[in-house]
Every structure is written in structure tokens, then in C-alpha cells.
Structure 1
């Protein structure tokens, strides 16, 4: 069922209305991620699903967080153990624990530990399959959620503050060396492979960072998007499609 939903975009002086064409995808999820044309997510029972054709199909795995992107397909389970899909199955990455992991950067892996420490692994180390002696880099600072795009990474800390790390590359997963504050408050944030930035705030509002570009990684302002009438839980964006989990767990795909 296609539903034309209006998106309200607020600037300081003007109100804009843009129509997204959205459809409801059967099922419920608590977290979703998309990259390189692959869409996956997990439900409240930590079952893992991939979007195949017109719906989500369960795969044999139990994860609380799942990510897909240039770095591969990875996830963290309820014990915070980290797994990467290789040779037809999920294989544990030794000596690291994450509660949230992201594969969206330039073939780098990033994640946050159960105590909000932030780590990254370079492209070369990731591509030789991470092992117990993989050279993980710990970044100064604390985050509860961290997501990377082609040239920057965005994070959210326990207080909901939004932070950006510039000039992240496959060879330098730590980027510019410092987190920089961005205005606004979020509970989660996702950076798409084309650099678009979306997030959900603590009140369940869905937001997009306007004006983000290579020459302006910070963008200009947050714009409010209305997809779910009763609030939003999680969001991801890939190849021109916006995937949104509503507060009740239902799923929307919009173009």
C-alpha cells in the first residue's frame, strides 16, 4: 500500500513541504541498516532479517545490532561479541566487544563498547579479516552510537549530544583526531554511503541534516521529517531510499 506522506522541513524563516512516497513493509524491527543495496535489521527477539525483493526474510543468526556497508556485514550479539559475515557464516572477531557496530565507512569498521569507548579498524586490517591481534584504534571520547560515511563519522553520546569526526579515510579511521560538536540532540544517527545524515531524537522525531557536502561536512541545520504519525525509532538511507522504523516497530520504505 503506497502512502504519500508529507515531510515538513523547517528553516529559521520558512516552512517547506516535500512529498515522500512511502510503503509499509510487513514485519516489525527495532534496528535497521542499509548499504550498497543491502538492507538488514533485527527485531525485539534479536532475530536477523535481510530485505529480499518485497519483504524481510529471516537468516540464521542472533544479533542485537546489525550493519551492512563497504566494510561488510557485521553485528553484535546480546553478549556484545562482534561477528563478521565471511565464507557463508558469521564468524566472531576475537578480543573486541561492541554494543553497536557500523560498516558504512571506506571499508573501515567502527563501534562502541559496552562502556561507550569508541574504536575503529582501518581498511587494510579489515580486509585481511580481523583477528585477535587486529590493530584496533581507540578514539578519545565516549559515545553510545557511532556511524560513518565516505569522509566523516557522526556520533551521539549518553547525553544526546551530536559529535562529528572529519576526514575519516580507509587508511586513517581516526580521521582528524578530535570529535567536534554539532548542534542538536539525538538518540541515534546514521550516515549514508553518499554522505546524507539522518537521526532520531529522544522525542521520536526524525531529522535530516541539511547542507552536508564534502566542502561542508557539518551541514547547516536539522530538518524535521514526518513519516510515522506516532513517532520514529530508527532510520537508515541508501541509494535514494529511506527506511524508517516507527515507534511501534512497523517499517516504512520511502522514495
Structure 2
């Protein structure tokens, strides 16, 4: 006598049920963000946080010159207009950056691209794990594999239109993440999650000086705004702001904890707004 095994259970949803499920998930996410916003506002009155533009699966965000760009887990890039995000070009980027030097990105294959005439154009030359356009016209990046840092001169970056091969200047420092501001130098995090700052970088020739180690929590990324504010995310997903930065004291004096009710993946700051991507892929906007 043969025994028949029971057929595996299958669940089928019609279109209406599928939309209802998505709506319910969005409602839950919105509710959690409201609770998070209240918790952050009560914990630290300087910051008023709320839900940002909806893009489920956000991975990285960058703000500069009044613009905001985002990359998601599918390597799609977006720009913010009003309260909505719109696709930015057809090429996929795992990391995208905007600033005085334009919009630049690094693909999943670590190829460097510049946004030219409505789409990303391959910038032939070195491969980069991460690029940053937040400096005073120059572009900096972290080389794939080697973790060496490089700089693209201001004129070269601004003039590049997708033709020819770019020549990058070596910055004699290994980093895992690197970011520049147009006011008070560049900051980086090395492979041991230690923090570094260079007091000066020239946009015309990419020369740097005054590398200084900065004590503090173990950081996985750090960002510098155009007005010199510095925010970092620790390896455990916590946000800190560097305080006491002046022209005479580029490294600042202390770290200020910015409380969040969810662990954070990425941050960026521009024009009084702190943009946050949580590890769950949600975007939050905080102001003060």
C-alpha cells in the first residue's frame, strides 16, 4: 500500500489582497516612524525628526548644495524634488554623491560615473569603492581593493563631460570612507574604524596637509557638510556629531550623541537638515 504525501500548502493572493497587504505594511512603517520621531524629539530637543521621502530599501543618501540624492538596494539612484523621489539616470549606482563638483557615483563594479546630460557617463580611469563630491570643487574617492584615497582636481572634475581618461592624484592615506567639505577640510574612516581629518586640501592641485587622528567611537562612515559640520555613524548604527570645529581647531573638541530609536546605516547633512537612512532601509529627515 502506497502512502500519499500531502501536497504543500500554497497561498494565493489576488491583486486586491496584494495591494491591501502593501498598504498595511506601509501603515505599520509609518506608525513606527511616528513613534521614532516622537522619541527622538523628546530625547533631544535640538532635533525634530519625521519620515522622509518614501523609498523602501534605501541604502545610502547624500545632500549638498541644496540637493539630495539616494541609492537603494537595487542600485537605483534617485533625486529629491518636493516631497518625492524620482529616478536619476538609467545606470545603477551603489553610492552617489552631489556637491560643487557635480553628481558622481560608484557602480556595483566600482566603476566611477559622472552625471552628464541626463544620465551617468563612465569616467574612465581608476576604480573607486566610494566617491565624494562635497568638497570645494574637487572629487575624492576610495580606491577599490587597495583602500588608497585619491583626489580629482577641481577643473578636471568640472570640465569632465564623459570623454577621455581621468587622472587621479594619490593622497597617501588608506581609508574605508572619505568625505570633504568646502570649508574645513576632509574626514575619513580607515579599515580599523579609526577617524582621521586633514586640515587642508587644495581643490586646484589636490595637495593635503595636517593629517590628524581623532579619538572617538568606532565609525563605519563619516560625512562633512559644505558648512563644515561633521556627522558619523558607528559600527553599531549610532549617530554622533563632532562639536567644537573651528578654523584653528579643524579636528573639533568632542562628540555629541544624536539619539535615534532605530539603528542607522548612513547620514548626510546640508542646510540645517540631517538626512538619515536606517538599517531597515527607511529615510528620515531631521532639522533643528
* TM-score, with structure 2 as normaliser: 0.80
Distance 2:42 2:223 in 1: 19
153, 161, 165: which is aligned to 1:122?
153
44, 68, 73: which is aligned to 2:73?
44
Q: How does 1:170-189 map to 2 (within 5 A)?
A: 170-176=203-209, 179-184=211-216, 185-189=218-222
Q: Determine helix, strand or coil for the equivalent of 1:166.
A: strand
Contact 2:104/2:131 (<8 A) preserved:
yes
Q: Determine helix, strand or coil for the equivalent of 1:61.
A: coil
Question: What is the Cα-based RMSD across aligned positions, in Å?
Answer: 1.7
Partner of 2:138: 108
Partner of 1:249: 281
Distance 1:191 1:164 in 2: 10
Partner of 1:33: 62
Partner of 2:41: 6
Q: 1:7 to 1:114 in 2, by over 3 A?
A: farther
244, 262, 265: which is aligned to 1:233?
265
Do residues 147 (structure 1) and 168 (structure 2) align?
no
Q: How does 1:203-218 map to 2 (within 5 A)?
A: 203-218=236-251
Between stretches 162-171 and 68-77, larger displacement belongs to 162-171
Q: 1:121 to 1:23 in 2, by over 3 A?
A: same
Distance 2:165 2:77 in 1: 28
Distance 1:160 1:147 in 2: 14
Distance 1:139 1:44 in 2: 30
Contact 2:212/2:251 (<8 A) preserved:
no
Contact 1:101/1:109 (<8 A) preserved:
yes
Q: Determine helix, strand or coil for the equivalent of 1:75.
A: strand
Any stretches of 5+ residues in structure 1 without a counterpart? Answer: 9-16
Which deviations, in whole Å up to 9, do the C-alpha atoms of 1:182-207 show, x marking residues without a partner? Answer: 11220000000000000100011101
1:140 shift after superposition: 1.1
Larger Rg: 2
Q: Comparing both structures, which one devotes a greater share of its residues to helix?
A: 2
* TM-score, with structure 1 as normaliser: 0.90
Partner of 1:74: 104
Contact 1:156/1:186 (<8 A) preserved:
yes
Q: Determine helix, strand or coil for the equivalent of 2:156.
A: helix
Q: Determine helix, strand or coil for the equivalent of 1:30.
A: strand
Query: Which of 1 and 2 has higher RCO (CA within 8 Å, sep 6+)?
Result: 1
Contact 2:238/2:258 (<8 A) preserved:
yes
Any stretches of 5+ residues in structure 2 without a counterpart? Answer: 1-29
1:7 shift after superposition: 7.5
Distance 1:86 1:19 in 2: 38
Between stretches 135-144 and 97-106, larger displacement belongs to 135-144
Do residues 23 (structure 1) and 68 (structure 2) align?
no
The count of residues paired between Structure 1 and Structure 2 equals 245
161, 173, 176: which is aligned to 2:194?
161
Q: 1:7 to 1:149 in 2, by over 3 A?
A: farther
Contact 1:120/1:136 (<8 A) preserved:
yes
